[in-house]
Amino acid sequence: MTTANTKCFEKACQKENALLKRQLHDLQKKVNWFEEQFRLLRHKQYGPSSERFEGQQAMFNEVEEALEADAEAQEEAPNTEQITCQRKKPVRRPLSKDLPRQREVHDIPEEEKQCDCCGCELHVIGEEISEKLDIVPARATVIEHVRLKYGCRGCETGVKTAPVPASPIPKSIATPGLLAWITISKYGDALPLYRQVSILKRMEVEISRATLANWMVRTAELLEPLYEALKEKLLKQPAIMADETTVQVLKEEGREATATSYMWLYRNASHSQPVIIYEYQKGRGSEHPIRFLQDYRGYLQCDGYSAYKKLAREQTGITLVGCMAHARRKFKEAFDALPKSKQLATSKPGQMLALIRTLYAIEQRIKDNTPTEKCLSRQNDARPVMDKMKAWLEKQASKITPKSKLGEAIRYMQNQWVYLERYLDSGLVDIDNNASERAIKPFVMGRKGWLFSDTVAGAKSSAILYSLVETAKQNGQEPYAWLRHVLTQLPSMSKGSDVTELLPMNIQPESLRYPQ
């Protein structure tokens, strides 16, 4: 073989080797991706559902720095006795003093009321009381409304009858108490109507599921003025959170029964006097929040869904704020996708999770501060941590495969960064959107029981009733007592009356008690 042929052969071999190396590298990337997906799916199926991160803190001490003031305060305390960490013995919580009590006295037999020592007669010197909790199941009661009739003996024609009392649903057997019980059972306790039919049957009450469903629609119509008053109150808040979830409606004009509709949720960011609004819509497009928030001016905190970005572009009065929990969740997935031996705080996902935990430690420390104090603390304490996070993202972005879980997490956080860091500039918003996710969870849990809405009217009624029940619960009301009170008052009020005094935040919870 000539020298020229040898060189050509060597070049061909080198070219073939380079091609094989590239193919091997690409195949290895695919294998790594599939292994990562396999570990993540296995974790989701068999691992704990909690997103808690228990990595070591060897490389980062920001949490300790954030809580340094608290530690110094403890060191200056006069009590220098060494504190040891001991597991507290569980203590039974006392029963509420407001619960009705039935006294049962237990006495010793007459023949034992003599002293065993001297034979003298014993007398009562005190008593020992132990409390047991009993439950009396719900029972149905028929209320007979007796309307006296008066007649004239003179002409025997003039007859007068006492007027019919105002009722939530005229000509119906449903009382405010019954409607409140059905509403709270479904929209507060996730008990579908068909199960309530069975419960009522055990009470010897025969009411069809269709009747209960009709009552819920009529109840929602009666309560709609309160729903509108809540919506008006919400749109006056300086900061709002938003989220959405799916719902299926079987009978909707122009759509198949399997079509996916959405329940949108809006709530104020303030944890004082919470307002929670559900709204049913056919889709998930940006036109729905644009219409709902058309006159709103303030902060809107949400996840990274593109519809909210379009809303912020079209309405200049809205400032979009991101959700750190969503960004953190992707790094937690990347951490869970690692082999067990590499799930350490020193791993790349672990490093970011440790930094994010520092931000949450700062939020925990300032949670009871005023908005002005929160903003100042975030600027002084949280912004340096955010700067570290941004530098870390820029450093790692070019090193990590974009299609890997860590690459996806880095890309998501970088795309959302301008929205994520906005919480630093205001004490009116939270670090994340978790409050709205917690508010929408009762609907998601209830949906597992009743599965779908039959009609659009039913879906809209659900939105109204969920809004009122959840707002009542978040404002410290006993929901049944509050709703029973409202359904008693509303029928006697004239159309167009001011109903704001009936809103959950405008009634002292102590004034409404669960009926005994």
The answer to whether 59 and 358 have CB atoms below 8 angstroms apart is no
What is the C-alpha separation between 270 and 430, in angstroms, rounded?
A: 9
Burial class of residue 433, CB neighbours in 10 A (0-12, 13-18, 19+) = buried
- Rounded to whole angstroms, what are the CA distances from 56 to 59, 164, 305, 434, 497? 8, 71, 33, 25, 60
Q: How many residues does the chain have?
A: 516
The answer to whether 269 and 237 have CB atoms below 8 angstroms apart is yes
Query: In this predicted structure, what is the pLDDT of residue 51?
Result: 65
298 phi and psi, to 5 degrees? 155, -160
Question: Does 341 map to a domain?
Answer: yes
Helix (H, G, I), strand (E, B) or coil at 226: helix
Question: Does 413 map to a domain?
Answer: yes
Pick from 401, 387, 398: nearest CA to 359: 387
Question: Does 80 map to a domain?
Answer: no
Pick from 290, 313, 268, 292: nearest CA to 433: 268
What is the C-alpha separation between 255 and 500, in angstroms, rounded?
A: 37
Read off the tokens for 505: 């935040």
Question: Does 67 map to a domain?
Answer: no
- Give the chain's domain count: 1
Query: In this predicted structure, what is the pLDDT of residue 55?
Result: 52
What element of type H or E holds 319?
A: strand 318-321
What is the C-alpha separation between 446 and 154, in angstroms, rounded?
A: 62
Q: Is the dihedral of CA 120, 126, 131, 135 positive or negative?
A: positive
Q: Is the dihedral of CA 84, 90, 92, 93 positive or negative?
A: positive
Question: Does 444 map to a domain?
Answer: no
Pick from 464, 471, 478: nearest CA to 508: 478
The answer to whether 326 and 305 have CB atoms below 8 angstroms apart is no
Helix (H, G, I), strand (E, B) or coil at 294: coil
What is the C-alpha separation between 352 and 406, in angstroms, rounded?
A: 10
Question: Does 355 map to a domain?
Answer: yes
The answer to whether 429 and 240 have CB atoms below 8 angstroms apart is no
Strand-pair partners of 245: 263
User: Splitting the chain (516 residues) into consecutive groups of 10 residues, what average pLDDT does each group show?
Assistant: 70 78 72 65 64 50 39 38 56 85 90 85 89 87 91 82 91 95 95 95 94 96 96 96 94 90 95 94 93 93 92 90 94 88 84 94 94 96 96 91 88 95 95 94 92 91 97 95 95 91 93 75
What is the C-alpha separation between 177 and 171, in angstroms, rounded?
A: 16
Range of the domain at 368: 324-425
What is the C-alpha separation between 490 and 502, in angstroms, rounded?
A: 9
The answer to whether 509 and 477 have CB atoms below 8 angstroms apart is yes
Helix (H, G, I), strand (E, B) or coil at 276: strand
Model confidence, pTM: 0.81
Read off the tokens for 118: 């001297």
What is the C-alpha separation between 438 and 445, in angstroms, rounded?
A: 11
Question: Does 220 map to a domain?
Answer: no
Read off the tokens for 224: 């709609």
What is the C-alpha separation between 35 and 376, in angstroms, rounded?
A: 45
What is the C-alpha separation between 358 and 335, in angstroms, rounded?
A: 17
SS (H, E, C) 125-181: CCCCCCCCCCCCCCCCCCCCCCCCEEECCCCCCCEEECCCCCCCCCCCCCCHHHHHH
243 phi and psi, to 5 degrees? -160, 170
- Longest CA–CA span in the chain (Å) reads 142
Query: In this predicted structure, what is the pLDDT of residue 271?
Result: 87
- Rounded to whole angstroms, what are the CA distances from 318 to 239, 304, 310, 496? 9, 15, 11, 31
Q: Are strands 260-268 and 276-281 parallel, antiparallel or unpaired?
A: antiparallel
Question: Does 293 map to a domain?
Answer: no
Read off the tokens for 174: 């449903």
Burial class of residue 282, CB neighbours in 10 A (0-12, 13-18, 19+) = middle
Query: In this predicted structure, what is the pLDDT of residue 399?
Result: 87
